[in-house]
């Protein structure tokens, strides 16, 4: 089994090198043609590039052989009819027969989606950096923890709603279009200094490890829930996970602003 992994990594090296090559060419070209300076510490740069190719190959094999299967396995187990119905044969037969399934029986799947979204976002290094910057820009009006928790809640709600959509099979674009319409209206009323940060938090939160896991969860769910197609219904969770943090971060800023205004009027009187 270990050999199998090593073989996969070695055969991934060529592909990874090809994927990295455009960046090397772009940087090399502009360095030579436009900047026309010699690169300092060339040997250490070359060593760094070797690290990138080797690390990326190992990482990609890990994503394909571990993170993706974990997402799929969790989807399989959480939607397993024996698990959902505690093995009640009558209920299993009824669920299999009925075309319309009760979305409520997937309760544990929603809980799982919520917890995965919340915990991975809270631990996301890129978000920690953004949160500290936010505290600095707003001179402390937005606390770093407040921002991190609002983003994490946003991702958690987003993924959970996305899972519900897969279970029900509603069209994805209805949800997303409504979400963005809401976001635009909210942008109009939100404190101006939070807007760029809120929009940024959408893209920042979906990291390299979380994205494949969530994608695998969605595809696995669509493969298991009766009447869903993985290709048509399985994708979309990442879109939810990028949209909802923007809404919750703006909501957080609006609430802090209202609370601060109340405090000021209370202090005056």
Binds other proteins by CB under 8 A, chosen from 34, 99, 104, 266:
34
Binds other proteins by CB under 8 A, chosen from 94, 177, 185, 255:
177
Task: Let me know: does 143 contact 207? Beta carbons within 8 Å.
Answer: no
Task: Provide the minimum distance between the beta carbon of 257 and other proteins in the complex, in angstroms, as a whole number.
Answer: 18
1 lies in the binding site for other proteins (CB under 8 A): yes
Size of the site for other proteins (CB under 8 A): 100
26 lies in the binding site for other proteins (CB under 8 A): yes
Binds other proteins by CB under 8 A, chosen from 91, 126, 149, 251:
126
Nearest one of 218, 15, 266, 186 to 116, comparing CA atoms: 218
Task: Provide the minimum distance between the beta carbon of 266 and other proteins in the complex, in angstroms, as a whole number.
Answer: 31
Dig out the tokens for 16 from the structure: 């990874």
Cβ atoms < 10 Å from Cβ of 123: 13
**Is 243 strand, coil or helix?**
helix
Q: What is the distance between the alpha carbons of residues 199 and 125, in angstroms, rounded to a whole number?
A: 18
For other proteins, the binding residues in 55-84 under the rule CB under 8 A are 55-70, 73-74, 77-78, 83
23 lies in the binding site for other proteins (CB under 8 A): yes
Dig out the tokens for 178 from the structure: 């409504």
Nearest one of 74, 56, 57 to 5, comparing CA atoms: 57
149 lies in the binding site for other proteins (CB under 8 A): no
30 lies in the binding site for other proteins (CB under 8 A): yes
């Amino acid at each position: 089994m270990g050999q199998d992994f090593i073989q996969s990594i070695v055969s991934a090296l060529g592909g990874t090198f090809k994927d990295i090559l455009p960046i090397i060419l772009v940087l090399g070209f502009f360095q030579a043609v436009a900047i026309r300076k010699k690169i300092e510490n060339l040997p250490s740069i070359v060593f760094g590039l070797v690290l990138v190719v080797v690390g990326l190959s190992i990482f990609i094999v890990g994503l394909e052989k571990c993170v993706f299967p974990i997402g799929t396995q969790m989807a399989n187990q959480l939607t397993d009819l024996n698990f959902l119905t505690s093995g009640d044969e009558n209920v299993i037969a009824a669920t299999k027969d009925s075309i319309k399934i009760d979305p409520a029986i997937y309760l544990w799947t929603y809980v799982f989606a919520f917890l995965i979204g919340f915990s991975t976002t809270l631990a996301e290094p890129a978000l920690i950096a953004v949160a500290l910057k936010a505290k600095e820009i707003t001179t402390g009006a937005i606390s770093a923890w407040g921002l991190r928790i609002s983003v994490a809640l946003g991702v958690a709600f987003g993924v959970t709603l996305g899972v519900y959509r897969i279970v029900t099979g509603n069209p994805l674009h209805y949800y997303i279009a409504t979400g963005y319409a809401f976001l635009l209206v909210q942008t109009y009323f939100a404190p101006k200094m939070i807007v760029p940060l809120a929009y940024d938090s959408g893209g920042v939160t979906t990291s390299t490890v979380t994205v494949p896991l969530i994608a695998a969860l969605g595809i696995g769910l669509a493969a298991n829930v009766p009447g869903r197609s993985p290709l048509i219904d399985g994708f979309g969770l990442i879109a939810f996970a990028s949209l909802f943090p923007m809404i919750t971060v703006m909501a957080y800023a609006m609430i802090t602003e209202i609370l601060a205004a109340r405090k000021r009027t209370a202090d005056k009187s």
